[in-house]
Structure 1
């Protein structure tokens, strides 16, 4: 069973960018909560080169009907040319937490 809740991942250039994005998403009621995981090491291919970067991971908790707005907001605020945006369907969890999300997000 899939719920109508989504977890959206993005990787930011630094903690300040992640915090600004998280604050905007919560203020706009597009996210009930966002978690910032500071200082992750990323290794990826970019423009034909292996690239190493210290980044910050942002985990965004939202509802499916707000997902497209979250994605557009990330693209608008992000410093990367091609930001990582991955959406995970939430299949189950704590009903009390989901009720809180419904209350916060409307």
Structure 2
């Protein structure tokens, strides 16, 4: 059972920046809520080398209708040249919670 809710994720190299990305999207009603995960270690290929960095993941809960506006806002606000942007479908959950996400994200 698919829903009209998605979880979109990005990462960033600073906790204060992660908090701003989370709070800004919620304040703009682009997401109902956002979680900032504890620091994680990212290992990735960049410019012909393998890099290791500490990053914070920001996960947004939003409606499919608000996703394009959220994606554009994150792309404009995020300082990385190529920020992570991954969207995961929500295939089920509490009806009350899913309705809340739609309402609070402006969807």
Fold conserved between structures, TM > 0.5:
yes
> Residue 31 of structure 1 aligns with which residue?
31
Segments of 5+ residues of structure 2 without an aligned counterpart are: none
In 2, Cα distance between equivalents of 1:80 and 1:103:
30
In the alignment, structure 1 residue 63 sits paired with structure 2 residue 85: no
Question: What is the aligned-residue RMSD (CA, Å)?
Answer: 1.0
49-58 or 94-103, which moves further after superposition?
94-103
- TM-score normalized with structure 2 length: 0.94
> Residue 2 of structure 2 aligns with which residue?
2
Q: Secondary structure at the match of 1:38?
A: coil
Kindly provide the CA deviation profile for residues 58-98 of structure 1, in whole angstroms up to 9, marking residues without a partner as x: 11000000101111111111111000000011110111111
Equivalent residues, number: 106
Aligned residue runs from structure 1 range 61-100, under 5 A? 61-100=61-100
**Where is the helix percentage greater, Structure 1 or Structure 2?**
1
Structure 1 runs (4+) deviating above 2 angstroms are none
Would you say the 8 A contact 1:13–1:79 is kept in 2? no
